[in-house]
Structure 1
Amino acid sequence: MPQSEYVTSIRSRIGTDFLLLPGVTAVIRQHDRFLLARHAHSGSWSLIGGAVEPGEEPAEALHREVLEETGARVRIRGIVGAYGGEPMMVTYPNGDRVGYITTAFDCELLGDAVADGEELREIGWFDRDTIHGLDRRNWIDRVIADVARPRA
Protein backbone atom coordinates (compact mmCIF):
# COMPACT_ATOMS: atom_id res chain seq x y z
CA MET A 1 0.00 0.00 0.00
CA PRO A 2 1.43 3.39 -0.86
CA GLN A 3 2.13 5.96 1.81
CA SER A 4 -1.04 7.44 3.33
CA GLU A 5 -2.16 10.97 2.46
CA TYR A 6 -1.56 11.92 6.10
CA VAL A 7 2.10 10.79 6.07
CA THR A 8 2.62 12.22 2.57
CA SER A 9 1.39 15.60 3.85
CA ILE A 10 3.80 15.52 6.79
CA ARG A 11 6.68 14.33 4.59
CA SER A 12 6.09 17.29 2.23
CA ARG A 13 6.98 19.54 5.15
CA ILE A 14 9.69 17.58 6.99
CA GLY A 15 11.32 15.56 4.22
CA THR A 16 12.97 12.38 5.47
CA ASP A 17 13.37 13.62 9.08
CA PHE A 18 12.34 11.28 11.88
CA LEU A 19 8.58 10.78 12.27
CA LEU A 20 6.91 9.00 15.21
CA LEU A 21 3.81 7.05 14.16
CA PRO A 22 1.24 4.87 15.92
CA GLY A 23 1.04 1.36 14.58
CA VAL A 24 -0.62 -2.00 15.02
CA THR A 25 0.80 -5.52 14.88
CA ALA A 26 -1.09 -8.76 14.30
CA VAL A 27 0.31 -11.70 16.25
CA ILE A 28 -1.49 -14.35 14.20
CA ARG A 29 -0.95 -17.74 15.75
CA GLN A 30 -2.13 -21.32 15.67
CA HIS A 31 -1.03 -23.17 18.79
CA ASP A 32 2.78 -22.80 18.80
CA ARG A 33 3.14 -21.48 15.23
CA PHE A 34 3.13 -17.84 14.13
CA LEU A 35 2.31 -16.29 10.75
CA LEU A 36 5.21 -14.12 9.61
CA ALA A 37 5.72 -12.09 6.47
CA ARG A 38 8.86 -11.29 4.48
CA HIS A 39 8.70 -7.56 3.82
CA ALA A 40 9.56 -6.22 0.37
CA HIS A 41 11.39 -3.10 1.61
CA SER A 42 13.84 -4.99 3.86
CA GLY A 43 13.68 -8.65 2.91
CA SER A 44 13.36 -9.44 6.63
CA TRP A 45 10.66 -11.48 8.29
CA SER A 46 8.30 -9.81 10.73
CA LEU A 47 4.78 -9.81 12.05
CA ILE A 48 2.04 -8.26 9.91
CA GLY A 49 0.90 -4.72 10.67
CA GLY A 50 1.15 -1.08 9.80
CA ALA A 51 0.22 2.49 10.68
CA VAL A 52 -2.95 3.74 12.30
CA GLU A 53 -4.62 6.43 10.17
CA PRO A 54 -6.05 9.64 11.71
CA GLY A 55 -9.48 8.97 13.22
CA GLU A 56 -9.03 5.20 13.01
CA GLU A 57 -9.38 2.89 16.01
CA PRO A 58 -6.34 0.63 16.46
CA ALA A 59 -8.46 -2.54 16.05
CA GLU A 60 -9.90 -1.13 12.80
CA ALA A 61 -6.37 -0.40 11.57
CA LEU A 62 -5.31 -3.94 12.40
CA HIS A 63 -8.18 -5.47 10.43
CA ARG A 64 -7.49 -3.11 7.49
CA GLU A 65 -3.74 -3.82 7.41
CA VAL A 66 -4.13 -7.60 7.57
CA LEU A 67 -6.79 -7.53 4.84
CA GLU A 68 -4.73 -5.21 2.58
CA GLU A 69 -1.53 -7.20 2.96
CA THR A 70 -2.88 -10.78 2.97
CA GLY A 71 -6.50 -10.69 1.77
CA ALA A 72 -7.46 -12.42 5.03
CA ARG A 73 -9.54 -11.55 8.04
CA VAL A 74 -8.63 -12.10 11.68
CA ARG A 75 -10.41 -12.37 14.99
CA ILE A 76 -8.78 -10.41 17.80
CA ARG A 77 -8.37 -12.46 20.98
CA GLY A 78 -6.77 -9.72 23.06
CA ILE A 79 -3.91 -7.27 23.37
CA VAL A 80 -0.40 -8.64 23.81
CA GLY A 81 1.21 -5.30 24.67
CA ALA A 82 2.55 -1.96 23.44
CA TYR A 83 6.07 -1.63 22.01
CA GLY A 84 8.36 1.17 20.89
CA GLY A 85 11.87 2.53 21.24
CA GLU A 86 15.01 1.83 19.24
CA PRO A 87 13.93 -1.65 18.02
CA MET A 88 10.89 -0.07 16.35
CA MET A 89 12.86 2.51 14.35
CA VAL A 90 13.13 2.02 10.58
CA THR A 91 14.92 3.82 7.76
CA TYR A 92 13.21 3.05 4.47
CA PRO A 93 15.10 2.77 1.15
CA ASN A 94 13.99 6.32 0.19
CA GLY A 95 15.63 7.68 3.38
CA ASP A 96 12.42 8.24 5.37
CA ARG A 97 13.10 7.65 9.08
CA VAL A 98 10.21 6.39 11.20
CA GLY A 99 9.70 5.21 14.77
CA TYR A 100 6.61 3.17 15.48
CA ILE A 101 4.74 2.79 18.74
CA THR A 102 2.75 -0.36 18.08
CA THR A 103 -0.07 -2.11 19.85
CA ALA A 104 0.25 -5.86 19.30
CA PHE A 105 -2.96 -7.89 19.12
CA ASP A 106 -3.22 -11.65 19.64
CA CYS A 107 -5.16 -12.87 16.58
CA GLU A 108 -6.70 -15.93 15.01
CA LEU A 109 -6.62 -16.21 11.21
CA LEU A 110 -10.03 -16.62 9.55
CA GLY A 111 -9.52 -18.12 6.09
CA ASP A 112 -6.50 -18.21 3.82
CA ALA A 113 -3.77 -15.57 3.72
CA VAL A 114 -1.61 -14.74 0.67
CA ALA A 115 1.17 -12.14 0.47
CA ASP A 116 0.03 -9.08 -1.49
CA GLY A 117 3.23 -9.02 -3.58
CA GLU A 118 3.68 -5.28 -2.94
CA GLU A 119 4.49 -4.83 0.74
CA LEU A 120 4.95 -8.53 1.46
CA ARG A 121 7.03 -10.93 -0.65
CA GLU A 122 5.83 -14.07 1.08
CA ILE A 123 4.20 -15.35 4.25
CA GLY A 124 4.67 -18.53 6.25
CA TRP A 125 3.95 -20.33 9.50
CA PHE A 126 6.91 -20.78 11.86
CA ASP A 127 7.44 -22.18 15.35
CA ARG A 128 9.52 -20.25 17.90
CA ASP A 129 12.70 -22.26 17.30
CA THR A 130 12.56 -21.69 13.54
CA ILE A 131 11.84 -17.97 14.00
CA HIS A 132 15.12 -17.52 15.88
CA GLY A 133 17.00 -18.70 12.78
CA LEU A 134 15.28 -16.31 10.36
CA ASP A 135 16.55 -12.97 9.10
CA ARG A 136 13.96 -11.03 11.09
CA ARG A 137 13.14 -7.80 12.82
CA ASN A 138 14.42 -8.66 16.32
CA TRP A 139 11.66 -6.79 18.15
CA ILE A 140 9.26 -9.59 17.23
CA ASP A 141 11.07 -11.93 19.65
CA ARG A 142 9.81 -9.86 22.59
CA VAL A 143 6.27 -9.74 21.24
CA ILE A 144 6.15 -13.49 20.59
CA ALA A 145 7.57 -14.19 24.06
CA ASP A 146 4.91 -11.95 25.60
CA VAL A 147 2.12 -13.97 23.97
CA ALA A 148 3.13 -16.97 26.10
CA ARG A 149 3.33 -15.01 29.37
CA PRO A 150 0.37 -15.40 31.70
CA ARG A 151 -1.75 -12.27 32.00
CA ALA A 152 -2.06 -10.67 35.44
Structure 2
Amino acid sequence: MPTPDFIVELRRHVGQSLLWLPGVAAVVLRPHPVSGADEVLLVRRADTGSWTVVTGILDPGEEPAVGAVREVLEETCVVVRADRLVWAHSTPEIEFVNGDRSTFLSLCFRCSWVSGDPRPGDDESSDAGWFRLEALPKMAESQLRRIELAVANAPEAVFAR
Protein backbone atom coordinates (compact mmCIF):
# COMPACT_ATOMS: atom_id res chain seq x y z
CA MET A 1 0.00 0.00 0.00
CA PRO A 2 1.55 3.36 -1.00
CA THR A 3 0.39 5.33 2.07
CA PRO A 4 0.47 3.54 5.43
CA ASP A 5 -2.79 3.54 7.40
CA PHE A 6 -1.29 5.53 10.27
CA ILE A 7 -0.43 8.39 7.88
CA VAL A 8 -3.92 8.35 6.36
CA GLU A 9 -5.25 8.70 9.93
CA LEU A 10 -2.81 11.55 10.69
CA ARG A 11 -3.85 13.34 7.52
CA ARG A 12 -7.48 13.31 8.74
CA HIS A 13 -6.29 15.55 11.59
CA VAL A 14 -3.57 17.69 10.00
CA GLY A 15 -4.75 17.85 6.40
CA GLN A 16 -1.96 18.56 3.96
CA SER A 17 0.31 20.25 6.54
CA LEU A 18 3.97 19.34 6.58
CA LEU A 19 4.65 15.98 8.28
CA TRP A 20 8.08 14.89 9.53
CA LEU A 21 8.31 11.14 8.92
CA PRO A 22 10.91 8.44 9.60
CA GLY A 23 12.01 6.71 6.41
CA VAL A 24 14.50 4.10 5.29
CA ALA A 25 16.44 3.49 2.12
CA ALA A 26 17.94 0.08 1.35
CA VAL A 27 20.90 -0.21 -0.99
CA VAL A 28 20.95 -3.94 -1.72
CA LEU A 29 24.19 -5.28 -3.16
CA ARG A 30 25.15 -8.69 -4.44
CA PRO A 31 28.00 -10.11 -6.52
CA HIS A 32 27.01 -10.86 -10.12
CA PRO A 33 26.58 -14.66 -10.42
CA VAL A 34 29.18 -14.91 -13.23
CA SER A 35 31.55 -11.93 -13.07
CA GLY A 36 31.47 -11.40 -9.30
CA ALA A 37 31.21 -7.61 -9.78
CA ASP A 38 28.79 -5.80 -7.49
CA GLU A 39 25.22 -5.24 -8.65
CA VAL A 40 22.58 -3.08 -6.98
CA LEU A 41 18.86 -3.79 -6.69
CA LEU A 42 16.66 -1.00 -8.06
CA VAL A 43 12.94 -0.44 -8.40
CA ARG A 44 11.04 1.67 -10.92
CA ARG A 45 8.49 3.74 -9.02
CA ALA A 46 4.96 3.28 -10.33
CA ASP A 47 4.03 6.90 -9.57
CA THR A 48 6.95 8.72 -11.26
CA GLY A 49 8.68 6.08 -13.41
CA SER A 50 11.97 6.92 -11.67
CA TRP A 51 14.54 4.26 -10.82
CA THR A 52 15.49 4.28 -7.12
CA VAL A 53 16.86 2.11 -4.38
CA VAL A 54 14.10 0.67 -2.19
CA THR A 55 12.67 3.31 0.14
CA GLY A 56 9.81 3.36 2.58
CA ILE A 57 8.23 4.74 5.72
CA LEU A 58 8.80 3.08 9.07
CA ASP A 59 5.75 1.82 10.94
CA PRO A 60 5.25 3.30 14.44
CA GLY A 61 7.79 1.70 16.80
CA GLU A 62 9.48 -0.30 14.03
CA GLU A 63 13.25 -0.75 14.25
CA PRO A 64 14.88 0.97 11.25
CA ALA A 65 16.94 -2.01 10.01
CA VAL A 66 13.88 -4.27 10.34
CA GLY A 67 11.87 -1.73 8.35
CA ALA A 68 14.49 -1.63 5.59
CA VAL A 69 14.42 -5.42 5.26
CA ARG A 70 10.59 -5.41 5.28
CA GLU A 71 10.39 -2.73 2.59
CA VAL A 72 12.73 -4.68 0.27
CA LEU A 73 10.68 -7.86 0.67
CA GLU A 74 7.37 -6.03 0.13
CA GLU A 75 8.53 -4.07 -2.90
CA THR A 76 10.78 -6.62 -4.67
CA CYS A 77 10.10 -10.11 -3.21
CA VAL A 78 13.82 -10.28 -2.36
CA VAL A 79 15.11 -11.35 1.07
CA VAL A 80 17.99 -9.24 2.36
CA ARG A 81 20.10 -8.67 5.46
CA ALA A 82 20.66 -5.11 6.70
CA ASP A 83 24.41 -4.84 7.27
CA ARG A 84 24.97 -1.29 8.43
CA LEU A 85 23.78 2.29 8.46
CA VAL A 86 25.66 4.35 5.85
CA TRP A 87 23.85 7.72 5.82
CA ALA A 88 21.45 9.59 8.09
CA HIS A 89 19.99 12.77 6.63
CA SER A 90 16.83 14.79 6.21
CA THR A 91 15.24 15.21 2.81
CA PRO A 92 13.99 18.46 1.33
CA GLU A 93 10.26 19.06 1.62
CA ILE A 94 8.25 16.99 -0.86
CA GLU A 95 4.83 17.99 -2.11
CA PHE A 96 2.92 15.04 -3.52
CA VAL A 97 0.45 15.29 -6.42
CA ASN A 98 -2.46 15.34 -3.98
CA GLY A 99 -0.96 18.35 -2.15
CA ASP A 100 0.25 16.47 0.95
CA ARG A 101 3.61 17.76 2.21
CA SER A 102 6.30 15.73 3.97
CA THR A 103 9.95 15.72 4.82
CA PHE A 104 11.77 12.57 5.87
CA LEU A 105 14.48 11.57 8.27
CA SER A 106 16.10 9.09 5.88
CA LEU A 107 18.19 6.27 7.30
CA CYS A 108 20.10 4.59 4.50
CA PHE A 109 21.27 1.00 5.00
CA ARG A 110 23.78 -1.11 3.09
CA CYS A 111 22.07 -4.48 2.65
CA SER A 112 23.18 -7.85 1.33
CA TRP A 113 21.10 -10.09 -0.91
CA VAL A 114 20.09 -13.38 0.74
CA SER A 115 17.63 -14.91 -1.73
CA GLY A 116 14.93 -14.25 -4.29
CA ASP A 117 14.58 -12.91 -7.79
CA PRO A 118 13.39 -9.31 -8.02
CA ARG A 119 9.92 -8.50 -9.27
CA PRO A 120 7.35 -5.90 -8.24
CA GLY A 121 5.84 -7.10 -4.99
CA ASP A 122 3.20 -4.41 -4.63
CA ASP A 123 1.67 -1.52 -6.53
CA GLU A 124 4.45 0.92 -5.56
CA SER A 125 6.82 -0.44 -8.22
CA SER A 126 6.34 -1.24 -11.88
CA ASP A 127 9.69 -3.03 -12.27
CA ALA A 128 12.60 -4.31 -10.19
CA GLY A 129 15.99 -5.67 -11.15
CA TRP A 130 19.72 -5.92 -10.66
CA PHE A 131 21.98 -3.31 -12.26
CA ARG A 132 25.74 -3.28 -12.71
CA LEU A 133 27.26 -0.28 -10.94
CA GLU A 134 28.83 0.93 -14.18
CA ALA A 135 25.48 0.69 -16.04
CA LEU A 136 22.94 2.40 -13.78
CA PRO A 137 19.85 3.96 -15.33
CA LYS A 138 19.31 7.71 -15.07
CA MET A 139 18.67 8.46 -11.38
CA ALA A 140 18.35 11.39 -9.01
CA GLU A 141 21.59 12.57 -7.39
CA SER A 142 20.31 11.58 -3.95
CA GLN A 143 19.82 8.00 -5.16
CA LEU A 144 23.32 7.90 -6.65
CA ARG A 145 24.71 9.25 -3.35
CA ARG A 146 23.01 6.44 -1.44
CA ILE A 147 24.57 3.86 -3.74
CA GLU A 148 27.99 5.55 -3.59
CA LEU A 149 28.01 5.51 0.22
CA ALA A 150 26.85 1.90 0.44
CA VAL A 151 29.48 0.73 -2.04
CA ALA A 152 32.23 2.71 -0.26
CA ASN A 153 31.30 0.89 2.96
CA ALA A 154 33.21 3.34 5.18
CA PRO A 155 33.39 2.33 8.86
CA GLU A 156 31.23 5.26 9.97
CA ALA A 157 27.86 6.56 8.80
CA VAL A 158 27.71 9.94 7.08
CA PHE A 159 25.66 12.75 8.59
CA ALA A 160 25.61 16.56 8.41
CA ARG A 161 27.63 18.38 11.03
TM-score (norm 1): 0.86
Q: Any idea what SS the aligned residue of 2:67 has?
A: helix
Q: 2:123 aligns with which of 118, 126, 146?
A: 118
Contact 1:41 1:92 in 2 (8 A): no
**Counterpart residue identity of residue 132, structure 2:** D
In the alignment, the residues of structure 2 paired with residue 38 and residue 79 of structure 1 have an alpha-carbon distance, to the nearest angstrom, of 23
Whether 1:68 and 2:46 are equivalent positions in the alignment is no
Structure 1 equivalent of residue 27 of structure 2: 27
In the alignment, the residues of structure 2 paired with residue 128 and residue 18 of structure 1 have an alpha-carbon distance, to the nearest angstrom, of 35
Q: Give unmatched runs, 5+ long, in structure 2.
A: 32-37, 157-161
Q: Any idea what SS the aligned residue of 1:8 has?
A: helix
Whether 1:6 and 2:6 are equivalent positions in the alignment is yes
Contact 1:91 1:97 in 2 (8 A): yes
CA displacement at 1:141 relative to structure 2: 1.6
Contact 1:83 1:103 in 2 (8 A): yes
Q: Any idea what SS the aligned residue of 1:68 has?
A: helix
Structure 1 equivalent of residue 154 of structure 2: 150
CA displacement at 1:91 relative to structure 2: 2.5
| Cα gap change, 1:90 to 1:127, in 2 (>3 Å) | farther
Q: Give unmatched runs, 5+ long, in structure 1.
A: none
CA displacement at 1:122 relative to structure 2: 0.4
CA displacement at 1:130 relative to structure 2: 2.6
Q: How many equivalent pairs are there?
A: 148
Percent of aligned positions with the same letter in both sequences? 34
Structure 1 equivalent of residue 51 of structure 2: 45
Q: CA RMSD in A?
A: 1.8
In the alignment, the residues of structure 2 paired with residue 118 and residue 17 of structure 1 have an alpha-carbon distance, to the nearest angstrom, of 25
Flag as ranges the 4+ runs of structure 1 deviating above 6 A. none
| Cα gap change, 1:85 to 1:49, in 2 (>3 Å) | closer
